[in-house]
């Protein structure tokens, strides 16, 4: 068993009354002048943004607004935010939205005190040693960015989507009111649950597979999500199940389901190229990639895939045929994705056939031209990744 | 579903190399002059204390030693620590040991900046608003104090054992090397696992029973502990299973298995009187109390006890007889306690018959003479608690 660090300092205020605490929490964590960062119209339309503004005003906290974050958040918006923060003397960033807004906020937070180009961190040219404090009022359960150390940004100049992880940017607090997720459309809801589950699956398929306590917790979370998602697709205002999903989104990425450093993460890397090139929803892309990844790698550790099939997917264990059981588990996952309205082929995802050249380009970018392999459960070369894209066509 | 706070800021460094980080971590969290707080001879004998001293010396960190913490840690030792810290200008407390040492450290940490009597916090006369930073090198997985907000102290003047909870005292860091638990005797090992499981059971039997994601995680943790404990009782140097237990000890009390504020906690309160009066091991006391508590309260929410029987204890669900299934689960728990060497009657626990007067005295103390009821799953009066002690004789 590898040594590990568990560090989840974010103060999570969860529930119907949680938004009321926003001004007190900003003050508690030292904010005096806030960048209020958000995405499109939904936060305005729902009245959430107005409420947060009113509460900050009542709390005597100054703020500047910066909206317009899009899914697969862009480097250009990050740079706009950095300039604005410097100009206005901002000392705290409050992300109102989902993973894209939080990731954009983290990038701005790194960039403000850094003299160089913030993209340096994402391409591995520099390590951040300080950043502005970030916190969030979460509206989309999916990315887990509200408790995680990760931030993923897309550089439009070349459609390059890269992640940067650093414990210093873990949010100071996260306000989570499940009622704010009632209006999430079915597709976003299902894509969010897919992402939540994948954060757990990436850890579950790891180099060692010997951390039973994390594995059993991971299985519990995955099984629970499989139930909850159908409940909220049927009844979007089912508070209890919206709450399970929202809280699971944090647990799936705060490392209680396993050590992120021994997890596989190839599915995420392979998907990042799809969403960078075609600007598709990350969770939907994961549903397309995972079954193909699984079929390509399962022989690496058959018993783990048997365990997944039996303990997570509820497949009857055929003890005489481990491979058959493993494959049934992968098929069951694919059927689950279809049942919740997720695509399971690239064609369904992007609305047309993908070309061989596009696949080659993505596989090459994914391994930075072949010098970097992806995946820890099974190391994947450019050719392997190309084969996985082919399986997923 | 009740709103909840999740706050687990402790930096956990887990594994074989973790102790090497001690000096860097003390510095990171602002310590310059440390109180090195510990218990008896085991930390000295094992060489751990020498190693920590060497590492602090090499890191240029001053420290003063204060050993002699006993199980059910005493208020007198806490007061000795407070005086020593003030006299020496200590600014950081490092607990090397298990829950007793950490709880004693937390009490000292509250007491140093407080003008009144530190016992005020424990009797509800005052709330702490500041405390010295506390951190730990953990050697006994059981109490979960390494990540929790709780501290339990015994006032020898009247054998009163009381807990005080405050988020400000959550340890800054916890160093956890499972190898340090290899030498734990079987009885302490089993009592520790009993305590870990009970922290989860107390949350599992709660007022609402509607937080599925926490329930399934709780069940996963409980099932895992049931396996691991037999492995380490057979082979005390089984690193992997010692590690599962050590990490589960933290997870069981850092609130991922449920909201502590809706949990029952009557078993803990009822046991505290036993260990206060007879100075017995807390975990062993819990094994005596829980089955009697369960038999006394199960009708309050039969389906929850059926679920516990089936999902945790592996009892076959007799759908025609929920009560029979629930009772089989309680019996299975009792058999499990016996199998790991725990007592299941007060007689076995204290080595003689308990008197009716002693039971009356404990029941009265437990409810502070009848004005305070215990338990949230089922509210218990003094008479109820007396009945539970009688069932446990």
- C-alpha distances in angstroms, B45 versus B42, B48, B108? 5, 8, 25
> How does residue A44 score in pLDDT terms, banded at 50, 70 and 90?
confident
CB contact under 8 Å between B220 and A224, yes or no, is no
pLDDT at B371 over 80: no
Q: What is the number of CB-based contacts under 8 A between chain A and chain B?
A: 109
DSSP-based three-state secondary structure for B46: coil
Mutation pick from B4, B193, B222, B312 vs chain A, by most beta carbons of A within 10 Å, is B4
> How does residue A161 score in pLDDT terms, banded at 50, 70 and 90?
confident
pLDDT tens, residue by residue, A250-304: 999 999 999 989 999 999 999 999 999 999 999 999 999 999 999 999 999 999 9
Give the separation between CA A55 and CA A20, rounded to whole angstroms.
7
Of A6, A223, A228, nearest to B14 by CB-CB distance is A6
Cα–chain-centroid distance for residue B342? 16
pLDDT at A241 over 80: yes
> How does residue B372 score in pLDDT terms, banded at 50, 70 and 90?
confident
What DSSP designation does B355 have?
P
Report the b/e string of B315-333 with b at 16+ CB within 10 A: beeeeeeeeebbbbbbbbb
Q: What is the ipTM of this complex?
A: 0.94
Residue among B100, B87, B107, B193 at smallest CA distance from B138:
B100
- Residue in chain B lying closest to A173 (CA): B7
Give the separation between CA A284 and CA A349, rounded to whole angstroms.
7
User: What value does the mean pLDDT of chain A take?
Assistant: 96
pLDDT tens, residue by residue, B109-162: 999 999 999 999 999 999 999 999 999 999 999 999 999 999 999 999 888 889
- CB contacts of A214 in chain B (<8 Å) are 247
Annotate A330-352 with DSSP letters as a single string: HHHHHHHHHHTT---SHHHHHSS
CB contact under 8 Å between B213 and A13, yes or no, is no
Lowest mean pLDDT among A55-59, A326-330, B210-214: B210-214
- CB contacts of A251 in chain B (<8 Å) are 213, 217, 256
- What stretch of H or E contains B5? strand B4-14
**Inter-axis angle of helices A239-251 and B212-234, nearest 10:** 40
- Bridge partners of B5, per DSSP, are A13
Fold of A184-392: Dehydroquinate synthase-like, alpha domain (1.20.1090)
Residues of A at the B interface (Cβ-Cβ below 8 Å)?
Answer: 1-9, 11-18, 210-214, 216-217, 219-221, 223-224, 227-228, 239-240, 243-244, 247-248, 250-251, 256
CB contact under 8 Å between A251 and B213, yes or no, is yes
Give the separation between CA B61 and CA A177, rounded to whole angstroms.
44
- CB contacts of B244 in chain A (<8 Å) are 211-213
Give Dmax (Cα) for chain B: 68
Give the separation between CA B23 and CA B26, rounded to whole angstroms.
5
> So what's the architecture of B11-180 in CATH?
3-Layer(aba) Sandwich (3.40)
| Closest CA–CA distance from residue A386 to any residue of chain B (Å) | 37
- CB contacts of A243 in chain B (<8 Å) are 1, 211
Fold of B183-392: Dehydroquinate synthase-like, alpha domain (1.20.1090)
Residue among A348, A379, A177, A251 at smallest CA distance from B3:
A177
pLDDT tens, residue by residue, A181-200: 999 999 999 999 999 999 99
pLDDT at A266: 96
Count of all residues that appear for chain A in the document: 393
Lowest mean pLDDT among A25-34, A318-327, B368-377: B368-377
The domain segmentation of chain B, as residue ranges, is 11-180, 183-392
| Closest CA–CA distance from residue B13 to any residue of chain A (Å) | 5
| Closest CA–CA distance from residue B248 to any residue of chain A (Å) | 7
pLDDT at B226: 96
CB contact under 8 Å between B217 and A220, yes or no, is yes
End-to-end Cα distance, chain A: 37
- C-alpha distances in angstroms, B197 versus A165, B73, B240, B263, B268? 34, 22, 18, 13, 12
| Closest CA–CA distance from residue B311 to any residue of chain A (Å) | 11
CB contact under 8 Å between A11 and B3, yes or no, is no
CB contact under 8 Å between B213 and A4, yes or no, is no
- Residue in chain B lying closest to A171 (CA): B9
pTM for the whole structure: 0.96
Give the separation between CA A97 and CA A35, rounded to whole angstroms.
13
pLDDT at B158: 82
**One-letter-per-residue 3-state SS of B53-114:** HHHHHHCCCEEEEECCCCCCCEHHHHHHHHHHHHHHCCCEEEEEECHHHHHHHHHHHHHCCC
What is the CB neighbour count within 10 angstroms for residue B248? Answer: 29
Matching fold, domains A11-180 and A184-392: no
Q: Residues A153, A81: contact at Cβ < 8 Å?
A: no
């Amino acid at each position: 068993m590898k040594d590990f660090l568990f560090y989840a300092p974010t103060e999570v205020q969860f529930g119907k009354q949680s938004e009321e605490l926003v001004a007190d929490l900003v003050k508690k964590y030292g904010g005096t002048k806030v960048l209020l960062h958000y995405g499109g119209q939904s936060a305005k339309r729902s009245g959430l943004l107005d409420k947060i503004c009113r509460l900050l005003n009542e709390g005597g906290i100054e703020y500047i607004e910066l909206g317009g974050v899009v899914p697969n958040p862009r480097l250009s918006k990050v740079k706009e935010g950095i300039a604005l923060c410097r100009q206005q003397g901002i000392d705290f960033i409050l992300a109102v939205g989902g993973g894209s807004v939080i990731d954009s906020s983290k990038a701005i937070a790194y960039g403000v005190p850094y003299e160089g180009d913030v993209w340096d961190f994402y391409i591995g040219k520099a390590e951040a040693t300080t950043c502005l404090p970030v916190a969030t009022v979460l509206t989309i359960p999916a990315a887990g960015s509200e408790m995680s150390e990760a931030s993923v940004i897309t550089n439009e100049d070349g459609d390059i989507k890269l992640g940067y992880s650093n414990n210093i940017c873990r949010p100071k607090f996260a306000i989570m009111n499940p009622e704010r997720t009632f209006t999430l459309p079915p597709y976003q809801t299902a894509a969010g649950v897919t992402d939540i589950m994948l954060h757990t699956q990436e850890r579950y398929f790891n180099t060692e597979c010997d951390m039973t306590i994390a594995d059993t917790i991971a299985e519990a979370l995955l099984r629970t999500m499989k139930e909850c998602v159908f409940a909220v697709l049927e009844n979007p205002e089912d508070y209890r199940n919206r709450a399970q999903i929202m809280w699971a989104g944090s647990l799936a990425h705060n490392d209680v389901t396993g050590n992120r450093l021994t997890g596989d993460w190839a599915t995420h890397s392979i998907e990042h190229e799809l969403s960078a090139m075609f600007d598709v929803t990350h969770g939907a892309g994961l549903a397309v990639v995972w079954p193909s990844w699984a079929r390509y790698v399962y022989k690496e550790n058959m018993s783990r895939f048997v365990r997944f099939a039996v303990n997570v997917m509820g497949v009857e264990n055929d003890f005489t045929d481990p491979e058959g059981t493993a494959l049934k588990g992968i098929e069951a996952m694919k059927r689950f994705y279809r049942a919740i309205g997720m695509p399971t082929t690239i064609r369904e995802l992007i609305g047309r056939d993908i070309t061989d050249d596009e696949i080659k380009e993505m596989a090459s970018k994914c391994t930075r031209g072949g010098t970097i392999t992806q995946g820890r459960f099974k190391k994947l070369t450019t050719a392997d990744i190309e084969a996985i894209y082919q399986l997923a066509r």
